Amino acid sequence: MAQNDGQGMKIYFSHPELTYTSTTDDNGVGSRMYHQQNVYRWVKNGHGSAMTVGQVGFHADGDDENFFETIYDGASGDLSFMAGVVMATSLAKDSYGWIQILGVNTQVSCYASGGTAIAVGDSLIGADGHAYAIHGAASGTAPLHVRRLTALETLASSVTVATAKTCLVECF
Protein backbone atom coordinates (compact mmCIF):
# COMPACT_ATOMS: atom_id res chain seq x y z
CA MET A 1 0.00 0.00 0.00
CA ALA A 2 1.24 3.46 -0.85
CA GLN A 3 1.92 6.01 1.85
CA ASN A 4 1.40 9.72 1.39
CA ASP A 5 2.46 12.93 3.09
CA GLY A 6 -1.01 13.81 4.44
CA GLN A 7 -1.71 16.07 1.47
CA GLY A 8 -2.26 13.28 -1.04
CA MET A 9 1.32 13.24 -2.38
CA LYS A 10 2.57 9.69 -2.69
CA ILE A 11 5.92 9.25 -0.90
CA TYR A 12 6.45 5.48 -1.02
CA PHE A 13 6.91 3.56 -4.27
CA SER A 14 7.23 -0.19 -4.81
CA HIS A 15 10.11 0.43 -7.21
CA PRO A 16 11.74 3.87 -6.91
CA GLU A 17 14.82 2.86 -8.96
CA LEU A 18 14.94 5.31 -11.88
CA THR A 19 15.89 2.66 -14.46
CA TYR A 20 13.22 0.18 -13.33
CA THR A 21 10.62 -0.89 -15.92
CA SER A 22 7.64 -3.21 -15.71
CA THR A 23 4.86 -4.60 -17.86
CA THR A 24 2.47 -3.85 -14.97
CA ASP A 25 1.67 -0.56 -13.27
CA ASP A 26 3.72 -1.10 -10.09
CA ASN A 27 3.99 2.54 -8.97
CA GLY A 28 0.67 4.17 -9.92
CA VAL A 29 0.70 5.56 -13.44
CA GLY A 30 0.98 9.36 -13.48
CA SER A 31 2.48 9.48 -9.96
CA ARG A 32 5.30 11.95 -9.30
CA MET A 33 8.41 11.11 -7.27
CA TYR A 34 10.68 13.77 -5.78
CA HIS A 35 14.34 12.83 -5.40
CA GLN A 36 17.00 15.37 -4.41
CA GLN A 37 16.50 18.36 -6.75
CA ASN A 38 14.71 16.35 -9.44
CA VAL A 39 11.12 15.26 -10.10
CA TYR A 40 10.10 12.11 -11.98
CA ARG A 41 6.78 10.71 -13.28
CA TRP A 42 5.81 7.03 -13.66
CA VAL A 43 4.36 6.60 -17.18
CA LYS A 44 3.43 4.03 -19.81
CA ASN A 45 5.27 3.94 -23.14
CA GLY A 46 2.57 4.20 -25.82
CA HIS A 47 5.15 4.78 -28.58
CA GLY A 48 5.29 2.18 -31.36
CA SER A 49 8.62 0.80 -30.13
CA ALA A 50 11.01 0.88 -27.17
CA MET A 51 12.34 4.23 -25.98
CA THR A 52 15.81 4.52 -24.47
CA VAL A 53 17.57 6.58 -21.83
CA GLY A 54 17.75 10.27 -22.75
CA GLN A 55 15.01 10.18 -25.36
CA VAL A 56 12.28 12.80 -25.07
CA GLY A 57 8.65 11.67 -24.69
CA PHE A 58 5.46 13.64 -25.34
CA HIS A 59 1.87 13.46 -24.12
CA ALA A 60 -0.84 13.16 -26.78
CA ASP A 61 -3.47 15.87 -27.20
CA GLY A 62 -6.38 13.39 -27.33
CA ASP A 63 -5.57 11.51 -24.10
CA ASP A 64 -7.81 13.82 -22.01
CA GLU A 65 -8.17 12.39 -18.46
CA ASN A 66 -5.15 10.10 -19.00
CA PHE A 67 -2.98 12.96 -20.27
CA PHE A 68 -0.05 12.50 -17.84
CA GLU A 69 -0.07 8.70 -17.97
CA THR A 70 1.28 7.79 -21.43
CA ILE A 71 4.21 9.04 -23.55
CA TYR A 72 4.86 8.91 -27.29
CA ASP A 73 7.42 10.26 -29.74
CA GLY A 74 6.74 13.80 -30.96
CA ALA A 75 3.87 13.83 -33.43
CA SER A 76 3.41 17.28 -34.96
CA GLY A 77 0.21 18.07 -33.04
CA ASP A 78 1.73 17.08 -29.69
CA LEU A 79 5.12 18.84 -29.74
CA SER A 80 3.97 21.46 -27.23
CA PHE A 81 3.12 18.69 -24.73
CA MET A 82 6.69 17.61 -23.88
CA ALA A 83 6.40 14.99 -21.12
CA GLY A 84 10.01 14.49 -20.03
CA VAL A 85 13.17 12.46 -20.49
CA VAL A 86 13.23 8.64 -20.37
CA MET A 87 15.35 7.24 -17.53
CA ALA A 88 15.33 3.49 -18.40
CA THR A 89 18.03 1.88 -20.51
CA SER A 90 15.16 0.47 -22.59
CA LEU A 91 11.48 1.21 -21.95
CA ALA A 92 9.64 -1.36 -24.06
CA LYS A 93 6.41 -0.56 -25.90
CA ASP A 94 3.41 -0.78 -23.53
CA SER A 95 5.71 -1.00 -20.48
CA TYR A 96 5.93 1.39 -17.54
CA GLY A 97 8.94 3.39 -16.35
CA TRP A 98 10.18 6.70 -14.97
CA ILE A 99 10.68 9.92 -16.93
CA GLN A 100 12.35 13.02 -15.53
CA ILE A 101 10.05 16.04 -15.56
CA LEU A 102 12.13 18.61 -13.64
CA GLY A 103 15.85 19.08 -12.92
CA VAL A 104 19.22 18.66 -14.61
CA ASN A 105 19.74 15.62 -16.85
CA THR A 106 23.12 14.81 -18.47
CA GLN A 107 21.79 12.35 -21.06
CA VAL A 108 19.16 14.25 -23.06
CA SER A 109 19.12 13.19 -26.70
CA CYS A 110 19.75 16.38 -28.75
CA TYR A 111 20.20 16.92 -32.48
CA ALA A 112 21.49 19.92 -34.46
CA SER A 113 18.59 19.73 -36.91
CA GLY A 114 19.09 21.44 -40.25
CA GLY A 115 22.59 22.52 -39.26
CA THR A 116 21.35 24.77 -36.41
CA ALA A 117 23.87 24.68 -33.57
CA ILE A 118 22.66 24.56 -29.97
CA ALA A 119 24.17 27.07 -27.53
CA VAL A 120 24.07 27.13 -23.74
CA GLY A 121 20.76 28.68 -22.67
CA ASP A 122 18.88 27.86 -25.87
CA SER A 123 15.34 26.56 -25.44
CA LEU A 124 14.93 23.11 -26.98
CA ILE A 125 11.75 21.60 -28.42
CA GLY A 126 10.67 18.25 -29.79
CA ALA A 127 11.26 17.16 -33.36
CA ASP A 128 8.26 15.98 -35.39
CA GLY A 129 8.14 12.17 -35.28
CA HIS A 130 11.36 11.81 -33.27
CA ALA A 131 12.30 11.27 -29.62
CA TYR A 132 15.07 13.88 -29.46
CA ALA A 133 15.24 17.62 -28.82
CA ILE A 134 16.20 20.28 -31.37
CA HIS A 135 16.85 24.05 -31.24
CA GLY A 136 13.68 25.98 -30.52
CA ALA A 137 14.64 29.51 -29.49
CA ALA A 138 17.91 31.29 -28.80
CA SER A 139 18.96 32.17 -25.28
CA GLY A 140 17.38 35.44 -24.20
CA THR A 141 14.28 35.06 -26.37
CA ALA A 142 10.92 33.70 -25.29
CA PRO A 143 10.74 29.89 -25.42
CA LEU A 144 8.28 28.40 -27.88
CA HIS A 145 6.56 26.14 -25.30
CA VAL A 146 6.05 26.16 -21.54
CA ARG A 147 7.21 22.53 -21.26
CA ARG A 148 10.76 22.54 -22.54
CA LEU A 149 14.42 21.72 -22.17
CA THR A 150 17.13 24.34 -21.76
CA ALA A 151 20.59 23.48 -23.11
CA LEU A 152 23.41 23.54 -20.55
CA GLU A 153 25.99 22.40 -23.13
CA THR A 154 26.67 23.36 -26.74
CA LEU A 155 26.12 21.11 -29.75
CA ALA A 156 27.91 22.03 -32.98
CA SER A 157 25.90 22.37 -36.17
CA SER A 158 28.16 19.75 -37.78
CA VAL A 159 26.86 16.96 -35.49
CA THR A 160 24.68 14.74 -37.65
CA VAL A 161 23.37 12.25 -35.07
CA ALA A 162 21.36 12.60 -31.86
CA THR A 163 23.87 13.16 -29.05
CA ALA A 164 23.55 13.02 -25.25
CA LYS A 165 23.86 16.51 -23.75
CA THR A 166 23.17 18.15 -20.39
CA CYS A 167 19.88 20.04 -20.19
CA LEU A 168 17.58 21.57 -17.63
CA VAL A 169 14.31 19.63 -17.87
CA GLU A 170 11.23 21.82 -17.36
CA CYS A 171 8.24 19.58 -18.13
CA PHE A 172 6.51 19.91 -14.77
Residue at a domain's end among 70, 101, 132: 101
Q: What are phi and psi of 123, to 5 degrees?
A: -85, 130
Could you list the residue range(s) of the whole structural domain that residue 127 is in? 106-170
Please state the rounded mean pLDDT for residues 20-38. 92
The predicted structure's pLDDT at residue 2: 41
Instruction: Kindly state whether residues 60 and 85 are assigned to the same domain.
Output: yes
Integer distance in angstroms from the first to the last C-alpha of the chain?
Answer: 26
The predicted structure's pLDDT at residue 3: 44
Residue at a domain's end among 101, 123, 147: 101
Instruction: Kindly state whether residues 31 and 82 are assigned to the same domain.
Output: yes
Residue at a domain's end among 101, 136, 152: 101
CB neighbours (10 Å) of residue 84? 28
* pLDDT over 90, % of the chain: 46
pLDDT tens across 109-162, in order? 999 877 789 999 999 988 877 888 888 888 888 767 778 899 999 999 888 888
How far apart, in whole angstroms, are the C-alpha atoms of residue 24 and residue 90?
Answer: 15
Please state the rounded mean pLDDT for residues 59-76. 75
Please state the rounded mean pLDDT for residues 57-85. 77
The predicted structure's pLDDT at residue 77: 62
Q: What is the CA radius of gyration of the chain?
A: 16
Residue 125 domain flag:
yes
**Based on the structure, what is the number of domains in the chain?**
2
